[in-house]
A and B are shown apart, each in its own frame.
Chain A
């Protein structure tokens, strides 16, 4: 099974690289789905089947679909791709890339400072997750509920197409 982990990890990294380098948003999203799928495999290997299922359903399903809907609403054309090409020049990405690699170096250093452990011997199943979630973490669940509620209200409020209100006497000439 170790080999499965490495393959999945490799696929995840590769597809993520593809995500951040695509010029077309739809292409990037397709790679993102691949990346999430690979992550789901990793979760499964690490003994978290419930998390793997959620990853596929929520991330690869709901969230990505949501983004695609929005892109469709925005009606992006060929010019957008050209625009992206223009924006993504080496002078733009070289600095952030160096910084991020620095950060990665630090993270790796920290990871290898600690002791080595093997993981994934035991599956933590849905029942256990459910018991923990609705046991000690019940308050956090409530809070998450409120957060989602706020998200819905916020999204509705922000996403609503406002009618342009112009005063009778103060007609704006710009539009």
Chain B
């Protein structure tokens, strides 16, 4: 099971960039949320690679924290999406560009 560390990090970078492109080009908020998940996952991968390089558990621990954060973020984010949809009747992120009050 020997893989060069660069390839691991390379994969993480590619996935991160793809997620970023997704966030930037999609107007649907659900898509944006999904793409953020992809980016978080890519970051987690980078930690795993680093942990694997040093054969330490810290990388995985960090991954778990990122996971926790992602779960919390998704739950709050989805609740927000529901609210936005109720208020604006659309999932267009650009529609939510003005504040009330």
Contacts and interface: CB of A to CB of B under 8 A. Distances in A.
Genuine A/B complex: yes
A158 B68 contact: no
A36 B70 CA distance: 14
A170 interface: no
Contacts, number: 235
B96 interface: no
Contacts of A152: 75
A164 B28 CA distance: 26
A20 B18 contact: yes
B25 A92 contact: yes
Bin chain A's interface residue count. Answer: 35 or more
Nearest to B94: A87
Interface of B: 1-11, 13-22, 24-28, 30-31, 33-35, 37-38, 41, 44-45, 48-49, 51-53, 55-61, 63-65, 67-76, 78-83, 85-86, 91
10 contacts: A19-B35, A20-B18, A48-B63, A51-B60, A66-B78, A70-B82, A80-B91, A97-B21, A119-B5, A124-B52
